Amino acid sequence: MEPTIRAVERRDLKRAVEMWAALMENGETHDPRWKLADGARDSMRRWAEELWLVYEPFPHAWVADVDGGLVGWLDGHPSNPSPVLDLPLGATIGNLWVEPAWRRRGVGRRLVETFIAHATAAGCTDIEVGTLTRDTGAVAFWRDLGFGDWLLVLRRGIPLPE
């Protein structure tokens, strides 16, 4: 059965936040600095209620639904260009998660393509996404979808384990 890609609804929030937490836990396996803070899940629920149920100028969150069960989720939003740079209106993909059993079946690609289509229809000409450099699978996924290097953020701090 093929998932239906649709804008998130209030009834989806609990499950979508669970997927967000799974994404963050996955990030921690690649970089221990990605560990969720105490009380993060409560903050995540509030964030989801405030930001994901926004549908203008395009929906800010999408789900992949199979008979009422969510197997994937993506959130994103319009991004204001810098007032000092000559940049076009853009959008930022914040997070993407596909349940492991549904990976490599085009679900993530369809979520991203749906987001891009709606952002483009709303006038966005640049789409950006960030990912952990140590998550080579995620980096490869985004590159395969046509995303390339634009900005490199360097950080000095907690030494990473080898």
pLDDT of residue 60: 97
Cβ density class 63-87: b for 16+ within 10 Å, e for less: bbbeeeebbbbbbbbbbeeeeeeee
For residues 104 and 94, the answer to whether their CB atoms sit within 8 Å is no
Question: Tell me: the pLDDT tens digits for 86-97?
Answer: 888 899 999 999
Query: Which fold would CATH assign to domain 4-144?
Result: Aminopeptidase (3.40.630)
Residue 162 has pLDDT above 70, yes or no: no
> Taking the complete model, does pTM exceed 0.85, yes or no?
yes
Residue with tokens 């600095």: 33
| More reliable by pLDDT, 106 or 34 | 106
Question: Tell me: the pLDDT tens digits for 11-26?
Answer: 999 999 999 999 999 9
- Which residue ranges make up each domain of the chain? 4-144
Residue 160 has pLDDT above 70, yes or no: no
Whole-number percent of the chain with pLDDT over 70:
97
- Band of the pLDDT at 158, cuts 50, 70, 90? low
- What number is the average pLDDT over the span 30-56? 91
pLDDT of residue 93: 97
